[in-house]
Amino acid sequence: MLRHRLTVLASALCFSTTGTAQALGPDAASPVVVGASRVAVGAVGLLAVTWWMQHRADRTRGSAAPRPLVARLGLPTGPGVRGAVWRAGLAVAVYQVGFFLAVRTTGVAVGTVVALGTAPVLTGAAGWLLGHGRPDRRWAVATALACAGLAVLVTGGASAHVAPAGVLLALVAAAAYAAYTVAAKTLLTAGVGAESAMAAVFGAGAVWLLPAFALAPVGWVVTPRGAALVLWLGLVPTTLAYVLFARGLTHLSAAETTTLVLAEPLAAACLGIGLLGEPVGRSTLVGGGLLVTGLVAVAVRRSAAAGPASGALA
């Protein structure tokens, strides 16, 4: 069990490098193209991992008969499931744009804490509206804490160097996370494997983000720093992180997994403050602390009976 906990923790630490990697990338890098490139490279990586796993499974079963690529990858094929893939892919696309713009606007520490700190709250609200169950009193307390944290961050922006526009973009990213989780639940409920579902969703997300390459400058991608940024984002906090997360989630409850993933916003904030030297004001500490407290309350609230229905998107 310890090995599986360490696996999820490792995935969270991989996720946490996303905002800092963008900040260390080329100055000319457009946040929209950064997100589109990450999804495209991540989709290829996840498809490769899924193909390799299916290939090994076929060899273990002794199956040598040729099959269509979709069948060999275990990708979803039903009409209702395909709709969920495209909805989740759109949410992935919106999340990338919102998150990277938020980080560029208000910094890695605040942008990551707001986006990831409010996402579970918004996911609970979305599930309630869609008839997946009414959240309990603890969820209401967590929501109040998160809202209080946001209020402190926004109203204290002058001293904490927090940009309200960046906070708004982070909230857009959090809403996209909630939409992704609801759509991903449909895929997992339909029996799609975790790796196959992620490969399909990120492939759809790459298609949604294709226009970004025509609307924003892309020359920086072929520079050494640009190529390193794109490869890192696509292979480490996307391909590797999602494979590790799926492996750990298979053996742990949703509640315990979500709690372990709390390492992501905390590690991201530490990287932003320690490595990038981002300024820290009193409102940043108070508001971020309230947000994280709300996230802890949401994580503890979830019961193991919920199963691995919610995914991670960072």
pLDDT tens digit sequence for 122-172: 766 766 676 656 656 766 676 677 667 766 755 554 444 678 888 899 899
Residue whose pair of structure tokens reads 């713009």 in the numeric block: 101
Half-sphere exposure in the Cβ direction for 25 (13 Å, CA): 31
Most confident of 1-10, 97-106, 252-261: 97-106
Confidence of residue 306 (pLDDT cuts 50, 70, 90): very low
Confidence of residue 59 (pLDDT cuts 50, 70, 90): confident
Q: Is the pLDDT of residue 37 over 60?
A: yes
235, part of any domain: yes
3-state SS of 135-194? CCHHHHHHHHHHHHHHHHHHHCHHHHCCCHHHHHHHHHHHHHHHHHHHHHHHHHHCCCCH
313, part of any domain: no
Q: Is the pLDDT of residue 10 over 50?
A: yes
Q: Is the pLDDT of residue 81 over 70?
A: yes
* Measured distance CA(258)–CA(71) in Å, rounded: 31
- pTM for this model (two decimals): 0.74
Handedness of CA 185, 89, 36, 51 (dihedral sign): positive
99-113, 232-246, 281-295 — which is least confidently predicted?
A: 281-295
250, part of any domain: yes
Contacts of 8 (CB under 8 A, 6+ apart): 244, 245, 248, 249, 252, 257, 260, 261
186, part of any domain: yes
- Ramachandran class of 312: left when φ > 0, alpha when ψ lies in -120 to 50, beta otherwise: beta
> Which one-letter DSSP state was computed for residue 276?
S
311, part of any domain: no
Within 10 angstroms of residue 78's Cβ, the number of other Cβ atoms is 12
Handedness of CA 129, 131, 132, 136 (dihedral sign): positive
Average pLDDT, the chain: 76
Within 10 angstroms of residue 211's Cβ, the number of other Cβ atoms is 12
Confidence of residue 90 (pLDDT cuts 50, 70, 90): very high
Share of the chain above pLDDT 70, in %: 67
**210: exposed, middle or buried (C-beta count within 10 Å: 0-12, 13-18, 19+)?**
exposed
312, part of any domain: no
* Measured distance CA(126)–CA(106) in Å, rounded: 26
* Measured distance CA(123)–CA(170) in Å, rounded: 15
- What number is the average pLDDT over the span 299-305? 47
Q: Is the pLDDT of residue 204 over 90?
A: yes
142, part of any domain: yes
Q: Is the pLDDT of residue 76 over 80?
A: no
More confidently predicted of 193 and 150: 193
> pLDDT tens digit string along 251-267?
765 545 655 666 777 67
List, in sequence order, the alpha helices (H) in the chain: 2-15, 18-24, 31-61, 69-73, 79-106, 108-129, 137-155, 157-160, 164-189, 194-208, 212-215, 224-234, 241-251, 254-260, 263-274, 282-301
* Measured distance CA(30)–CA(96) in Å, rounded: 12
* Measured distance CA(244)–CA(203) in Å, rounded: 19
Could you tell me which of 236, 234, 254, 231 has the C-alpha nearest to residue 303? Answer: 254
257, part of any domain: yes
- What number is the average pLDDT over the span 165-191? 82
CA distances to 11, 34, 183 from 261, rounded to whole Å, are 8, 23, 20
Q: Which residues constitute the domain of residue 195?
A: 2-306
Q: How many domains does the chain have?
A: 1
Q: Is the pLDDT of residue 49 over 60?
A: yes
Half-sphere exposure in the Cβ direction for 279 (13 Å, CA): 11
* Measured distance CA(85)–CA(192) in Å, rounded: 11
